[in-house]
Structure 1
Amino acid sequence: MAINQGEIEVSKKTLLHISEGIYRTEGSSIKELISNAFDAKATKVVINTNYPTFDILTCQDDGVGMTEGEFLRIVQGGIGDSPKSTISQINAGDRPTIGKLGIGILAIAQICRSFTIISHHEESKTGFKGRMVFRTDVDKVAKKKSLEPGDKQKNYEIGTWELEERYEYDSKKKGVLIFTKDLRQSYAKRFRESKAILQAPKNDTPLNFSTLLDYFYINDYRAIKELGPYYELIWELCQLAPLPYFNDTPLREEIKDHITVYPFENAGLHKHGLSFIKAKQAELKAFDFTVIFDDIRLYRGIKLPYPIWRHSHLQQCQFFYFEYDNIVRKRPLKFQAYFFSQECAIKPRDLKGLQIRIKNVGIGLYDATFIKYDKIESPRDNWISGEIYVHEGLESALNIDRDSFNENDEHYFILKQQIHRFLSSKVFPTVSSLQRKRNKEKRIRDAESRVLEMQEELEVLFNEYSEFDVEFRENGQELIVDLDEQTISFPNDILLATFKKRRDFFSTNILEFIEVFRHSLGDNSDVSDGIKKLTSIILG
């Protein structure tokens, strides 16, 4: 029998967002549980999906835990009205406080109808077990209420709660455990039917993160979603959670000597940009925060460039760095950003564009529109990836889902404006210039290669149809035929020339070609065949 029970209440603001669907993906909702654990000073979060049946979901952390009073405050109208927004922005270990509106407890409701929470609170030395059951028609209720004009009701009921048991504090169970077997049918079905899951040996999951990266990068798929919802969920958690990079940096060690500094860039600023990434990695590691998902320790899995080789050479890459620190409407806005460009489309394409991170947490995945950049830069925009780390400001622009922004917010407008200016003045012009340079060099390489092929073909042709030796010279535009010495000399410039010039050259000298073949063979049929092959070689 329950110790206490009642109805789950939410504020009107929260109800309005429920009517729109708070979280867009499973990854976004589970990210909130991870963020809650991060704010609770946890060092480890362990998530289990009971792969491959997906009939249970658990999330356990070793943070400070939740008190019974906090649980009651949340279910009795505290969702969407949390004091988290007034908490100091820095907690233990110099961690920034991520949470703002206290709706993280609703996150798991996106994928289940009910769940149980067990907490052992370190400071109060108390423990409890609670349960939350959501109405099956909560989405409909939310939409209906949000449309009712003049509705002044403060809180709305979206389900029921029970306080089932109280425990003596157990330090070995410190933190919060959330688990559910009451998963939405669509969630379990989608995960079980993922293409990659169906093709994998039974009960076979990647054993480590390196193996997992092979699933993400070394495959025949263009995007992570083609692997199916299960791997898409893991990918999202890797990119959204406050985790360190897998190999200390998103930039591969192999390309460090192949990164081009864009023209007129301050060398010191460029160096500072590379140092910024190292400093960011050190900060992320210092948080001492680990996420284990189905026995896999997660990292931010970014490997740039990919593929590392372009044709037969290491990709030439560009690195751009930008920073901003100013007061906007009496509020500080400070951010740093890097942009990375490679010679071909970013793979997987989920890394194309920019990701905004506030307090190291991803606000949505990569934005392939570059925050709605209004100029057409195709195909170059497929070659660029970057991250924007916001240190101060922009939180006022966050929507309740912490997955998107209010685009009318002044901070968001300024960030967007500054990023677009940098893209249009530095990034895209440099990428375009280097593309033209690479294309020109490729045309020269291709032309030189074609010249060698033509030279070999011409030597074979004249050996077959005449007794003339073929020579090639660097300068000049004329064909030189020496009937006495039986030599024929081609200018290399003509072999490198445009089709029109080669055609004019051939037309001008065709009688001399005929004379060469006739001088050697005296056979009109062979002369005709020789001229046909010569035409094919010179004119293609």
Structure 2
Amino acid sequence: MTDGIYRQPASALRELISNAWDADAQNVTILTDAPRFSRIYVRDDGAGMSHRTLARLMHNIGGSAKRRDEGQDLGLASDADPELTPGGRKIIGKIGIGLFSVSQLARRFEIITKTKGSDYRLIAEIRLHQYSEDPDAPVENDDEFIAGDVFIRREQTADLEAHGTDIIMDDIKPRVRDILRSADRWQAVAEREAALAKGDFDTWASLRVEKPVYHSGYAGVGSAASQMATLAERPNLPWDSSTAPGDRMARLIDAVEGEFSRLDRPDLANTLDSYLDMIWSLGLSAPVPYVDCHPFDLKGKENVQFYWIMPGRGRGLELKVDANATVRQAAREQVEGAPELLEGLDPVGAFNVDIDGLTLKRPIRFQHHQSDPRGLEHAVMFVGEFCPDLGSVTAAQRGGGLSLEGYLFWTGRVVPKENNGVLVRIRGASGALFDPTFFKYQVSEQTRLRQITSEIFVQKGLDAALNIDRESFNFAHPHVQLTTMWLHNALRQLTNRLKDIGQRLRQARQDHHSAQQQDAIIERAEQIWRERRGVDSFPPDVRFTRDPDEISRYRLQGSLVFDPVSAPSRVARDVAREAQVSALVKVLAAYNILEDRTYAEQQEIINAIIDIFSGASQ
């Protein structure tokens, strides 16, 4: 564990944000010293830690007191429910490895913490060992590794009302700094530009790397101290200093979506540097609001058609959502059992995370991007809930209860493409990014799967299936299997509905095209009539019927009457072919071909011509 359990620096900051949530913080501030990243500072206004809580944290890494009776005794959990914070939030943390999240960024750091009402703050100076790089670290026996050492001191303060925790990392690992500032990429860009300047086109062509479109700047090669004065590359951020913190995440999404002019499927890898990509990842993982609105609060006036995910196979239940009503209201009123979609209804107040002057929000929008002019002109969203009755399953096998809500959002093009897939949120937070395989969905729906964004909100269960890095799942766990079954059923309903909509769209398009062709044929025939008979003359009216009474009535009115043309199915009438017959009759009449002929002869002439052309087209 001391060698590292997280893949990216963003994962470590994600854990600190979750800890602040669990401490009932309302505000979290993160300063990264971008683009140099020589120092990272995290502050929250949560409950803080008493000396007992801090001491337990230091002595029990990997054994969290949260969501246990001990957590209630330490004031970490509600007296009424160990699964909730004292303020009523669902506790995210469980494993007890948050301290090691800091060790991914720096080996030496400080924790400054204070509880409300105390006349002192605690300052813990921590130094952690890394097992693989510290063979001389003290070891008491073969089964015990000394993880590090800590020096804790008290500092008196007169501000009794203050509370919260600060974490100060002054000695960021060199490799972490390089990752955050995209050092490898910038160096490769410099090498490519140098090769081009020297005329070394082979090297230039082999280095397939470009500058990120938006970035925090680049401080160049060298130590942090030597980079303080100048920057090798000035920042190019999607916002400026006048942009309000709450608007900056929206500007970031606008920047990515703006790449449509350059890329068919805009992505984060080409558009953003590692720092902005980290902000995007934190927005996805943290329990913060969406940049626009929660998916369950979308209204009927949006360009979205809503459906409810039904148990079993099918195509979902269509929801009629009024212009100013939300999808959660429509589900409650129109679905049997009046389900209440609770995700997104925060009962315990706001949670704001600010990183370098940007208010963190979930970078997911529910807008329709049409794939091509012939595609659907609106998005499709399926919403639903799942709370299986596991009473018949033994306690050892079911792994506790399971309750979740979710949605699947289809649009012509997902922007960015990294938002394609399914993302699982447990208690409002997520450790993983979008899974584009949708938990290994086996049905061949490659095109449609690339057009879907889905989130699963787990209120109860599934967290026992999380692997230690909180970024992947144990697929053998029964909760993962049940969730997979529900998701795959929802996917089938969505794709079945899309096929129906697509078929109707194609049929409507064919009917429209056929109608246009029919109108053009009739218009040309009537033009020929006017050329032959004059503009003041009207072409004959052509009717199709076999009913004797209708035949007599139409002929008395001066119409030419013919047998209806059978469609290929021999069931319906072939309206398109009848338009051709009508045009043919008008042209023949314009040249007096049908004049002075009996009705039977007129029918024979038309049938003969139609038979000739029908045979030629087969």
Cα deviation, residue 35, structure 1: 1.0
Partner of 1:321: 384
Counterparts of 1:264-413 in structure 2, within 5 Å, are 265=317, 271-272=331-332, 279-283=342-346, 286-307=348-369, 311=373, 314-327=377-390, 328-330=393-395, 331-413=399-481
Q: How many Å separate the matches in 2 of 1:208 and 1:469?
A: 73
1:21-62 CA-to-partner distances (Å, cap 9, x unmatched) read: 412222222111011111112111111112333322111001
Encode CA deviations 1:499-521: one digit per residue, 9 max, x unaligned.
xxx9x959969xxxxxxxxxxxx
In structure 2, the residue matched to 1:56 is 39
1:428 aligned residue (461, 476, 495): 495
**1:154–1:203 Cα change, 3 Å:** farther
Call closer, same or farther: CA 1:230–1:450 in 2, change over 3 Å: farther
Q: Which residue of 2 aligns with 1:93?
A: 87
Equivalent of 2:62, from 69, 80, 83? 80
Aligned ranges for residues 519-538 of structure 1 at < 5 Å? none
Amino acid of the structure 2 residue aligned with 1:29: A
Partner residue, 1:200 = 236
Aligned-residue offset at 1:289: 1.7
Q: Give the aligned partner of residue 280 of structure 2.
A: 235
Partners of 1:202 and 1:397 lie apart in 2 by 38
Aligned residues: 464
Gaps of 5+ in 2: 72-81, 183-211, 218-234, 309-314, 321-327, 543-575, 594-609
Q: Identify if the C-alpha distance between structure 1 residues 322 and 407 changes in structure 2 by more than 3 Å, giving closer, same or farther.
A: same
The reply to whether residue 120 of structure 1 matches residue 102 of structure 2 is no
Deviations 1:115-164 (A, max 9, x none): 221112336543122222334x545679xx9xxxxx99554234443336
Distance in 1 (alpha carbons) for counterparts of 2:589 and 2:514: 33
1:1-80 matches, within 5 Å, as: 15=1, 18-19=2-3, 21-76=4-59, 78-80=60-62
Return the match for 2:289 from 224, 244, 251. Answer: 244
Is the Cα contact below 8 Å between 2:343 and 2:405 reproduced in 1?
no
**1:247 corresponds to which letter in structure 2?**
D
Q: CA deviation at 1:405?
A: 1.7
2-side partners of 1:451 and 1:480: how far apart?
14
Residue 419 of structure 1 aligns to a residue in which SS? Answer: helix
Deviates more, 1:332-341 or 1:406-415: 332-341
Residue 41 of structure 2 aligns to which amino acid in structure 1?
Answer: T
How far is 1:362 from its partner?
Answer: 1.5
The aligned residue for residue 497 of structure 1 is none
CA pair 432-83 structure 1, distance change in 2 beyond 3 A: same
Q: 1:180 to 1:469 in 2, by over 3 A?
A: farther
Q: Given that residues 368 and 411 in structure 2 are in contact (C-alpha distance below 8 angstroms), is that contact kept between their aligned partners in structure 1?
A: no
The reply on whether 1:156 has 2:145 as its aligned counterpart is yes
* TM-score, structure 1 as length reference: 0.73
Q: Which range moves more in the overlay, 309-318 or 289-298?
A: 309-318
1:223 maps onto 2:267 in alignment = yes
Q: Give the whole-Å Cα distance in 2 for the aligned partners of 1:469 and 1:342.
A: 56
| Letter of the 1:207 counterpart | A
Q: Secondary structure at the match of 1:91?
A: coil
- CA distance in structure 2 between the aligned counterparts of 1:116 and 1:382, rounded to whole angstroms: 44
After superposing the two structures, state which structure 1 stretch, 406-415 or 59-68, moved more. Answer: 406-415
Matches of 1:420 and 1:183, distance apart in 2: 43
Q: 1:455 to 1:32 in 2, by over 3 A?
A: farther
**Larger mean Cα displacement after TM superposition, 313-322 or 378-387:** 313-322
1:309–1:428 distance in 2 versus 1, CA, 3 Å: closer
Larger Rg: 2
Give me the identity figure in percent.
Answer: 23
Q: 1:266 to 1:431 in 2, by over 3 A?
A: closer
1:83 to partner: Cα distance: 1.9
Contact kept, 8 Å, 1:243 with 1:299, in 2: the verdict is: yes
Distance in 1, matches of 2:27 and 2:7, equals: 25
Which amino acid counterpart does residue 169 of structure 2 have in structure 1?
T
Q: More helix per residue: 1 or 2?
A: 1
Amino acid at match of 1:315: H
Q: How many angstroms does 1:445 deviate by?
A: 4.5
- Quote the Cα distance in structure 2 between the aligned partners of 1:321 and 1:381: 19
Change (3 A) 1:406 1:508: closer
The amino acid across from 1:259 in the alignment is: Q
Contact 1:355–1:363, Cα closer than 8 Å, also in 2: no
CA contact under 8 A between 2:238 and 2:251: conserved in structure 1? no
Distance 2:319 2:86 in 1: 37
Shift of 1:166: 3.6
CA 1:447–1:485 in structure 2 vs 1: closer, same or farther (change >3 Å)?
Answer: closer
Match runs of 1:135-150 below 5 Å: 135=129, 137-139=130-132
Contact kept, 8 Å, 1:224 with 1:232, in 2: the verdict is: yes
Aligned positions of 1:158-197 closer than 5 A: 158-163=147-152, 166-168=155-157, 170-171=159-160, 173-193=162-182, 195-197=213-215
8 Å CA contact 1:216–1:224 kept in 2: the answer is: no
1:425-463 per-position Cα deviation (integer Å, ceiling 9, x unaligned): x2322223223333333444456667788999x89x99x
Partner of 2:305: 259
Counterpart Cα distance in 1 of 2:132 and 2:67: 26
- Residue in 2 aligned with 1:524? none
Question: Cα distance 1:116–1:374, how it changes in 2: closer, same or farther (>3 A)?
Answer: same
Q: Which runs of 5+ in 1 are unaligned?
A: 1-14, 146-150, 489-501, 510-540
Q: CA deviation at 1:196?
A: 1.1
Please give the alpha-carbon distance, in whole angstroms, between the structure 2 residues aligned to 1:129 and 1:172. Answer: 18
- Cα 1:82–1:322, aligned 2, differ >3 Å: closer, same or farther? closer
Amino acid at match of 1:224: L
1:238 Cα deviation after fit: 1.5
Structure having greater relative contact order (Cα 8 Å, sep ≥ 6): 1
The one-letter code sitting in structure 1 at the alignment partner of 2:249 is L
- Of 159-168 and 354-363, the range deviating more from structure 2: 159-168
* Offset of residue 240 of structure 1: 1.2
In 2, distance between residues paired with 1:443 and 1:402? 51
- Taking a change above 3 Å as real, the CA distance of residues 441 and 297 of structure 1, as seen in their structure-2 partners, is same
1:257 Cα deviation from its structure 2 partner: 6.9
- Aligned pair partner of 1:210 in 235, 247, 263: 247
**Could you say if the C-alpha distance between residues 436 and 29 of structure 1 is closer, same or farther in structure 2, counting changes exceeding 3 Å?**
farther
TM score, norm. by length of structure 2? 0.64
The CA distance in 1 between the partners of 2:15 and 2:236, in whole Å, is 29
Alpha-carbon spacing, 1:84–1:260, altered in 2? closer, same or farther (3 Å): closer
